[in-house]
């Protein structure tokens, strides 16, 4: 699960297929993400002090991570992400289509650094 909150993603399945928007929150345990403006449902609320008008509230519901693709700005489309180690030992996400980096996952570790031969 390489999609993180703040990423721009494209929905590839469901009623909102083709929509591109920002990820608000990711629930790794359930394998779902909350995407801005996607999978909206109505919640009916009674009149109360918090909602004096009452009525229908529109809110987003979580979407399966398998139905989302990371939107690569250099490719201009939804792509799959991969993970790899850099030469200094840090781990990064990268676009599998155009090979550009999509941000760092983990800081550098000496165990994963490439050994320089002299």
pLDDT single digits (tens) 33-55:
999 999 999 999 999 999 999 99
Counting the structural domains of the chain, the total is: 1
Is residue 54 included in any domain, yes or no?
yes
Q: What does the alpha-carbon distance between residue 101 and residue 84 come to, in Å, rounded to a whole number?
A: 10
Distance CA 18, CA 67 (A): 11
Go through 71-108 and write b for each residue having 16 or more CB atoms within 10 A of its CB, e for each that does not: bbeeeeebbebeeebeeeeeeebbbeeeeeebeeeeee
What CATH number did the domain enclosing 85 receive? 2.30.30.30
Q: Find the domain containing 108 and state its range.
A: 8-112
Identify whether 79 is part of a domain.
yes
| pTM more than 0.85 | no
* 91 within some domain: yes
d(CA 3, CA 7): 7
pLDDT, residue 111, reads 86
Is 40 a domain residue?
yes
Q: Is residue 1 part of a domain?
A: no
Q: Is residue 2 part of a domain?
A: no
């Amino acid at each position: 699960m390489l999609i993180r909150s703040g990423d721009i993603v494209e929905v590839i399945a469901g009623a909102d297929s083709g929509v591109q928007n920002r990820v608000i929150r990711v629930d790794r345990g359930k394998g779902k993400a909350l995407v801005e403006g996607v999978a909206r449902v109505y919640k009916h609320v009674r009149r109360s002090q918090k909602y004096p008008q009452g009525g229908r509230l529109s809110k987003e519901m979580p979407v399966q991570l398998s139905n989302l693709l990371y939107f690569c700005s250099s490719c201009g489309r939804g792509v799959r992400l991969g993970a790899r180690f850099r030469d200094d030992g840090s781990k990064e996400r990268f676009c599998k289509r155009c090979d550009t980096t999509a941000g760092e996952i983990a800081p550098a570790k000496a165990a994963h650094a490439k050994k320089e031969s002299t």
